Amino acid sequence: MKIDSSTIRESLLKERQVEYKEELSRKRIWMMIIMILTASFILYVYIHGSLINEEALSSNFREKLMAPSRDHIFGTDHAGRDMYLRTIKGLATSIKVGFIGTIASFLISIIFCILLVVGKEKTDTVVNFLIDGFLSIPHMMFLILISVAVGRGIRGVIIGLALTHWTGLTRILRSEILELLDENYIKISKAMGKSNFYIFKNHILPHLLPQILVGLVLLFPHAILHEAGITFLGFGLSLSTPAIGIILQESMKYITTGHIYLALFPGLMLVFLVLCVNRLGENLKSFLDPNEIHR
């Protein structure tokens, strides 16, 4: 019996399609598990840190500068405070400040995106000029200047994060908007008399949602790191506010005396938190765009 070569090719093609779908399904399930685990860790840090009161962080000089043990897994600081509780509390503060700053940056990006749609070429020129102007200034220096100018503290850091982190997301969304405005269905919608706001809400915004969501998540770890950075340098949160930057700043005085754990564990926890948020954003990007899975 003679087998047709075209039948064999179709059979192999079907098998490959089935294998591709199974592999895609496995990877999506694995990505979903990772996303749930990373999101659970972030929620645990924030909720646990928010529930820690001042009494739990009170000084106990009889237990100062104790090495990590069963009772104090991260050790204690120069005032006898539990370093694990201080670290979790500081990370919760960083998450709160970073989240508010990220949302504020996101709102600025959306405002500029709306202006690009409802405006004309001059609007795009102005937006592009502002992006280039803000990017031309060293990021950390600009953030410090804004934070100091508005009085430091939580308010100063949030305003600084908002005014320095909108450029990257706005540039990505701007390129997407300019491509969409050349599409035929956009031109047809304009010819039918639809308003620019209608076009943005019904034709452009649905296409931008995946980029907005992923960009928002990936913007979050940058905000956390920059908040910790300027606080460590003394231009961010006040010393009375529990923050990772302050913990690391205080620990520098005791590293030379052998108390490395005071900086090691809080620093590792900060890096791990940032990696978790970044991983969450990368998996979300792949989850929304299956083509990213096989790259």
126-147 pLDDT, tens digit per residue, is 888 888 888 888 878 888 888 8
User: How many Cβ atoms from other residues are within 10 Å of residue 136's Cβ?
Assistant: 8
Q: Which two tokens stand for residue 20?
A: 């591709």
| Pair 219, 139: CB distance under 8 Å | no
* pLDDT under 50: residue ranges of the chain: 1-2, 293-294
Q: Identify the bridge partners of residue 76 per DSSP, sorted by sequence position.
A: 82
Q: Identify the bridge partners of residue 82 per DSSP, sorted by sequence position.
A: 76
Instruction: Enumerate long-range contacts of 125-133, CB under 8 Å, 24 or more apart.
Output: 127/170, 127/174, 128/174, 131/167, 131/170, 131/171, 131/174
Q: Which two tokens stand for residue 265?
A: 């564990």
Distance CA 157, CA 143 (A): 8
Q: Does domain 5-288 have CATH number 3.30.2350.10?
A: no
9-28 pLDDT, tens digit per residue, is: 666 677 677 666 777 677 77
Residue 177 makes CB contacts below 8 A (sequence gap 6+) with: 113, 116, 117, 204, 208
> Which residue in the block uniquely carries the two structure tokens 């064999």?
8
Q: What are the b/e assignments for 57-88, b being 16+ CB within 10 Å?
A: eeeeeebebbeeeeebebbbbeebbbbbbbbb
> Which residue in the block uniquely carries the two structure tokens 């003679």?
2
Q: Pick from 181, 161, 179, 178: which is nearest to 108 by CA?
A: 161
SS3 164: helix
Q: Which two tokens stand for residue 207?
A: 């296409």
Distance CA 152, CA 236 (A): 5
Distance CA 159, CA 223 (A): 11
Distance CA 112, CA 119 (A): 10
Per-residue model confidence (pLDDT) at position 9? 67
**Both ends of the chain: CA-CA distance in Å?**
42
Q: Where are the domains of the chain?
A: 5-288
